[in-house]
Chain A
Amino acid sequence: MRAVYAIVFAAAFAALVGQHLTSPSSGRPVSPEDFAGACAPCGAPCPSVQKK
């Protein structure tokens, strides 16, 4: 298990750093709730808005 764990950790960390260096990043960390119209932690709209 230890070897599997080390491999998974190293691969995931390399992928994480790689995608960070190749992706845009905003000025401060954001949550989907920061955006207008978000009604849930995932950014889903409110039912009252969906009905319109």
Chain B
Amino acid sequence: METTGRIACHVALSYGVTVVGLALYAWSVLRRIRGEGEKIDALGRQAGTDAR
């Protein structure tokens, strides 16, 4: 059996990876949504400029 400290480290890593992973994944999805929104806005502005 491993030492108490090493077991605590494994448990902390498991929860840490889960919580940080969730935060990073959610952030990446929201960032991609914002990126697409900005691209659509830019295309809309470009279309407006071309029309004028």
**A joins B in a complex:** no
A contacts, CB < 8 Å to B: none
